[in-house]
Amino acid sequence: MPPFQLVQDPGALALFLDVDGTLIDFAATPEAARAPADLPAILQAASSRTAGALALISGRSIAELDRLMAPLQLPAAGLHGAEFRFTEAALPSTAASLPPQFVQKLAAETARFPGARFEDKGASVAIHFRAAPSLAAELHELLLRYLARAGTPPLELMVGELVYELKPPGFDKGTAIRAFMQHTPFTGRTPIFVADHVIDQAGFDTASSLGGYGLSVGSKLPGAIDFFPDTASVRAWLKGLA
Ligand SMILES: [Mg+2]
């Protein structure tokens, strides 16, 4: 059962869905994460129910989202809003990559920490430490030192679920939702953002400022009005909408 009552007709909603920790469970590495076999069909049905007003809002690249949800290609914002695809199967717009020299140096420094995994996402970089959670403080210090260094491009540090990300400032999951809400078929609908981490708060806040609301996963997070206990209950809720 969903933890709350929807007051709107599901057909009048715009659904914005985080992916990792929301629609699918975390795995040891981002590459190892798999979508449950029925997820593409559930998303397809929920998308039809909202006349296509369903978008994935993720820290992953759109290419990665397509791989996870194959054969589905949904509207999506990737890399926390650096990449967009406004309509199904359109070509994604991508953001400029970070300077290669900066990326290579940080990758080499990260390699000195066994258990930390460096991911070059193009417009952003991520350092995952799911395999070595005890590295949290040391890696955080490394990144802060790095950001303070002369010659580092202007970047923002984001603290995710056993991951740090450096991305250019000026966009987040909130700006992504706002951008979708200016496009058909999202415009004029009630936005709902479902996500699992404090990193997603800009998205919750944006959804409520646009007359909708945020729903978190795992626990009730700041900015969310209610929460789902786990990813399975999010999938069951989406199934119920359709
Ligand atoms: Mg997430």
Span 31-76, pLDDT tens digits: 889 999 999 999 999 999 999 999 999 999 999 999 999 999 999 9
Neighbours of 31 (CB within 10 A): 11
Mean pLDDT value of segment 191-217: 96
Tell me, in angstroms, the distance from the centre of ligand 1 to residue 174's CA: 14
Tokens of 146: 């790095």
**C-alpha of residue 19 to centroid of ligand 1, in Å:** 6
Average confidence (pLDDT) over 177-196? 96
The CA 18 to ligand 1 mean position distance, Å, reads: 5
Residues of the chain with CATH 3.40.50.1000: 13-43+54-94+173-241
Rounded Cα gap, residues 63 and 152, in angstroms = 27
151 C-alpha to center of ligand 1: Å? 31
Bridge partners (DSSP) listed for residue 17: 56, 194
Structure confidence at residue 7 (pLDDT): 65
pLDDT at 2: 47
Catalytic-role residue among 18, 66, 172, 196: 18
Q: Using the Cα atoms of residue 19, residue 53, residue 38 and residue 76 in order, give the sign of their dihedral.
A: negative
Phi, psi of 7 (to 5 degrees): -95, -20
Does residue 106 surpass a pLDDT of 70? Answer: yes
Which pLDDT score is estimated for 6? 66
Is 196 an active-site residue? no
Predicted confidence band of residue 96 (pLDDT cuts 50, 70, 90)? confident
Look at 73 and 28; give whichever has higher pLDDT: 73
At residue 207 the predicted structure's pLDDT band, cuts being 50, 70 and 90, is: very high
Does the structure show a pLDDT above 60 at 182? yes
- Provide the pLDDT confidence category of residue 4 given band limits of 50, 70 and 90: low
| pLDDT mean across residues, the chain | 92
- Separation of CA 100 and ligand 1 centre (Å): 27
Cα gap 113→91, rounded to integer Å:
37
Q: The pTM is what?
A: 0.92
Please, what's the largest Cα pairwise distance for the chain?
A: 53
Angle between helices 136-148 and 100-110 (to 10 degrees): 150
C-alpha of 175 from chain center: 12
Please report the pLDDT score of residue 176 as a whole number.
Answer: 96
Interval between CA 197 and ligand 1 midpoint (Å)? 6
Distance CA 193, CA 99 (A): 32
pLDDT at 228 over 80: yes
Residue ranges, CATH 3.30.70, the chain:
100-167
**Cβ proximity of 22 and 39 under 8 Å:** no
Q: What percent of the chain has pLDDT over 70?
A: 97
Distance 25 CA to ligand 1 centre (A): 9
CA distance 98 to 103: 7
Query: Tens of pLDDT along 131-173?
Result: 999 999 999 999 999 899 878 888 999 999 899 999 989 889 9
CATH of the structural domain 100-167, one choice from 1.10.3470, 1.10.287, 1.20.120, 3.30.70: 3.30.70
Which runs of E-coded beta strand occur in the chain? 13-17, 54-57, 76-78, 83-85, 117-120, 125-128, 156-159, 163-167, 190-195, 213-217, 224-228
Class of domain 13-43+54-94+173-241: alpha beta
Q: What is the pLDDT of residue 1?
A: 39
